[in-house]
Structure 1
Amino acid sequence: MIPFRASSPPHFTTLVLLAATSTMTLNLIVPSLANIARDLNSDYGVVSLALGGYLAVTALVQLGVGPLSDRIGRRPVLLTALAVFTVASAIGAAAQDVWMFLGARMIQAAVISGYVLSLAIVRDTHDGPDVPRLVSRIAMSMALAPMLAPMVGSLLDAALGWRAIFVLYGTVGAALLCLVWTDLGETVRGREEMAGAVIPGAASLFRRPLFWSYALCTTFSGGAFYIFISGSPLIATSVFGVTTAELGLYVGSITGGFMTGSFLAGRLSRSWASTRVMLLGRIVACGGLLAGIAVLESGLVVPVLYFGSTILVGVGNGLTTPTSNAGAMSVVPRLAGSAAGITGATNLAVGALLTSGTGALLADRPSPLLLLVLMLAVSVAALLATLAAMVLERRSDG
C-alpha cells in the first residue's frame, strides 16, 4: 500500500495543482464543442451545456464540499472528489450519445473541490499575512490555467480527437489522486469535537456582516470580470474593428492584469493589513474605469486606451480577490471550508447573472461606454463592501 502523511500539511505545489486543475477543467473542452456535437449527432446548443450546466453544478458542489470538509476533514473529501472526477472523465471519453456525455461532464464538477479546499487548507495551516500571500499565489495559477487550457485542448483535438481531452482529464485526475493520497495529511484540527456542531456553525456565517463584506467584495470584484468577458468581444469587433488575431490579446489583457495584481498582493500583504490591500485594489479598478470613461467622453475611441483602462480592473481584482478570500475564511477559522465554498458559489451565481444581463443589454446596442459603466457599477459595489469590512474590522478590534 502507498504510504501517506497522516497529519502533515501538503506541499504548496500540491495546492496549486489542485486549484489550477479545477479551473483548467472548465475551458479545456471549449475548442472541441462543435466536433463533439457533430460526432454525437447533437445540436451545438445542447452540447454547450457542457459549459453553462457545468458552471451551475460547480456552484452547488462548492456549497456542499466546504461545510462537509469542515465536518469530516479536507483529506477524505478531496480523495473522494478526485476519484469521482477520474471515473467521470473515463465515462466521458467513452460516451456514445450526448446525454451520457453531459452526465459525465456534470459529474466532473466534483473537481472544483480542489479549488475550494486548497484555499481552506492554506487557512488551516497558516496565519496572519501568510494567508493572503499564499492565496495570491494560488490566484496567479488559476489565472494562467484558463489562458493555456484552450490552446492545449485545440492541439489535442486536432491531433487525436476530442475524446483525448477526456483521457487527459482522467490521467490528471488519477495523478492528483495519487499525489493527494501521498502528500496531503489532514489539516482540520479537532474535527472529532466539531462533528455535531459544524452544520449550525456553517449556517452562522450567513449572519455575520463581516463575512458578507469580504464575500461580496470578492463577488463584485469578479463581477466586473464577468461583464468584461461577456461584452468585450462584441465591443472589440463591432466598434473598434479588431481582427480575430488581435481579439485574444485584447480580451486576455485583463487576465494579465489580474496576475500582476495577485503578485503585488502577495508582496504587499507582508506589511499591509488585508483591508488596506483590498482598498488599494478597489481604487485602482475604479480609477482605471473612470479614466476610460473620461477618454471615451473626450472623443478618443482608441482600442489601446480603452483596453488599457480595463487592464487596471484586472490589476485591481488581483490585489483585492486573494485578500478578500483570505478575510472571508478568517472570520471563523474553523469554518474556512464553508467560507470558501459559500464565497465561490456566490461569485459564480452572480457572475452568471451579470454575464447574461450584459449580453442582453449589449446585443442590440454595443456601446463601449455602457460596458465601462456596468463594470464601474459593480466595482463601486466592491469598494463599498471593502469599506464595510474596514469598519467592521475596527469595531471587532476595539
Structure 2
Amino acid sequence: MTGARTAPHILTLVALGGLGALSMNVFLPSLPGMARDFGVDYGVMQLSVSAYLAGAAVVQLIAGPISDRYGRRPVMLWALAIFLVSSVGTWAAPTAGWFLVFRMIQAAVATGMVLSRAVVRDLVAGDAAASRIGYVTMGMSVIPMLAPVLGGLLDEALGWRANFSMLAIAGAAVTALVWLDMGETRRGPGLSMAAQMRNYPALARSARFWGYATAATLASGAFFAYLGGAPFVGETVFHLRPAEVGYWFAAPSIGYLLGNFISGRWSIKIGMDRMILWGGLLTGAALAMALAADLAGLHHPLMFFGAVGVTGLGNGMVLPNANAGMMSVRPDLAGTASGLGGAMAVAGGAGLAALAGALLVPGAGAAPLLVIMLLSALGSLVGILALMQAR
C-alpha cells in the first residue's frame, strides 16, 4: 500500500484543508433561510458557525498531540470517517437541535487543517515552512472563494440540505485520496501522551509561541466574526439574495489567495515577523476605513465586502507565517503546537462569531460587526509588535 509509506503530494494537503474550508463556508448564504425553515431565530441558527468553531477548537487541541503520538495518517483517516457520518446527520436532521449536534461533530474535519501544517513542518523548517504553508493555504483559499457561491446556487435550486449532501460526497472523495496518497511523515516513534503533557510547560513558557499564537488567533478572529455576521448583514442591510451573498463572499477569499501567494513567494526573503507585521497593518487600515465609511452613512456592499477582501489579503500574509512561527518553537512538538495554536484561533473565533450574532439585530447595520473585526485585528497587531520588541 504505497500511500501508507510515501509523503503526501501538496494537492492532498490542499484537499485536507479545503474540505474544512468547504464545510465552514458552503452553507453560509443559507443561514437566514435555515432559521425560517426550522422555525428558530437567526441567533440560534448562527450557532452552527460558533458551535462548529468551538468543536473545531477542541479537535485541534487534541488532534495535534494524538498525531504526534500515533502518526498523521491514522488520525486523519479516523477524523474523515467521523466527518462522513456527521455530514449525513446534518442532512437528515429533523430539528435545529439535532442539526447543531451533528454540526459540532462535523468539526472533526478540522483535523485536516492541523495535520496539513504539521506535515509541512515534518518535511521543511523555519521560513521555508512558512513559504510552503503559504502555498498550501493559497490552494485552500480557492475553496471558500467558490463555496458560498455554490452553496447559494444549490440552496436556490434544491434547498439548503443539498449543501450537506455535497459535503458527504466531497468527504468520501478526500478520504479515498488520503488513503491512497497520504503516507506517514512523523519523525521517530512519537512521544507518549504523558511525555507530551510534561513538555507543554516548555511550550507555554515561550514568549515566542504566545506572540505568534496571539497574532494568529486575533487575525483569525476578525475573519470568523465576519463569517458569523456577514450573512445577516448581506440580507438585512444590503437586501441580497442567498446567491448574491455567495458572490460577495468571494471577496475575502480572493484577498486571502493573494496574501498566501505573497507569503509563499517572499516569506523566505522578508522573514516571518515582518510579513506578519505588514499583514496586520494592512488589515487594520482596511477595517478602520470601512467602519469610518459606515458611520458616515456610506452603505454599499462594495464598501463592506471590499474592505473584508483587503482583510483577507492581510490574513493571508499573517497566518502562514504565524503558524510556522508557532511550530518553530519546539519542532519535536510541531503537531502539538499546530493544534494548540489552531485551537486558540478557532475558540477565539467561536466567541467572536457568537458575539457578532448577538449584536447584529434589525436596525443595527454593519457597524457592530466592523467594530468587532477591527478590535480583533488591532489585537493581532499588538501581539506581533510585542514579539518583535522582545527580540
What is the 5 A alignment of 1:110-259? Answer: 110-156=108-154, 164-192=162-190, 196-230=194-228, 244=241, 252-259=250-257
CA distance in 2: counterparts of 1:379 and 1:220, whole angstroms? 6
Q: Distance in 1 between matches of 2:362 and 2:158?
A: 40
Match in the other structure for 2:17: 19
- Mapped to 2, the partners of 1:374 and 1:199 lie a distance apart of 34
Q: Residue in 1 aligned with 2:58?
A: 60
The aligned residue for residue 324 of structure 1 is 322
Moved more, 167-176 or 122-131: 167-176
Q: Deviations over 1:108-155 (max 9, x none)?
A: 221111111111111111123321122222323443323322343455
The more displaced of 376-385 and 330-339 is: 376-385
Distance 2:29 2:342 in 1: 26
Q: CA deviation at 1:278?
A: 0.7
Provide the secondary structure at the position in 2 that maps to 1:129.
helix
Q: How do 1:74-89 residues align onto structure 2 when only pairs under 5 Å count?
A: 74-89=72-87
Aligned residue identity for 1:68: I
Shift in CA distance, 79/97, structure 1 to aligned 2, threshold 3 Å: same
8 Å CA contact retained: 1:33, 1:44: no
- Relative distance call for 1:345 and 1:287 in structure 2 (3 A) is same
Q: Residues 96 and 137 (structure 1 numbering): CA distance in 2 closer, same or farther, change over 3 Å?
A: same
Give the deviation of 1:193 after TM superposition: 5.4
1:212 Cα deviation after fit = 1.1
Structure 2 unaligned residues grouped into runs of 5+: none
How far 1:249 moved relative to its partner?
5.4
Secondary structure of the residue that 2:268 maps to in structure 1?
Answer: coil
How far residue 281 of structure 1 moved from its aligned partner, in angstroms, is: 0.9
Deviations 1:246-304 (A, max 9, x none): 6555554333222222211111113111001111112222333455566678x683645
In the TM superposition, what whole-angstrom CA distance separates every residue of 1:317-356 from its partner, at most 9, and x where no partner exists?
2111111111111111121222222222212222222233
- CA distance change for structure 1 residues 124 and 201 in 2, over 3 Å: closer, same or farther? same
**May I ask how many residue pairs the two structures share in their alignment?**
387
| Partner amino acid, structure 2, of 1:386 | I
Q: Distance in 1 between matches of 2:100 and 2:367?
A: 38
Shift of 1:72: 1.2
1:301 maps to 2:302: no
Partners of 2:126 and 2:270 in 1: CA distance: 11
TM-score, normalization: structure 2?
0.83
**Correspondence for 1:28 among 23, 26, 29:** 26
The aligned runs of 1:281-292 (5 Å cut-off) are: 281-292=279-290
- Counterpart of 1:366 in structure 2: which amino acid? A
Residues 229/175 of structure 1: CA separation in 2 closer, same or farther (3 Å cut): closer
Residues 121, 187 of structure 1: 8 Å contact kept: yes
**What letter is aligned with 2:298?**
V
Checking the alignment, whether the CA contact within 8 Å between 1:136 and 1:263 is kept in structure 2 is yes
SS at match of 1:222: helix
Out of 244, 259, 264, the residue aligned to residue 262 of structure 2 is 264
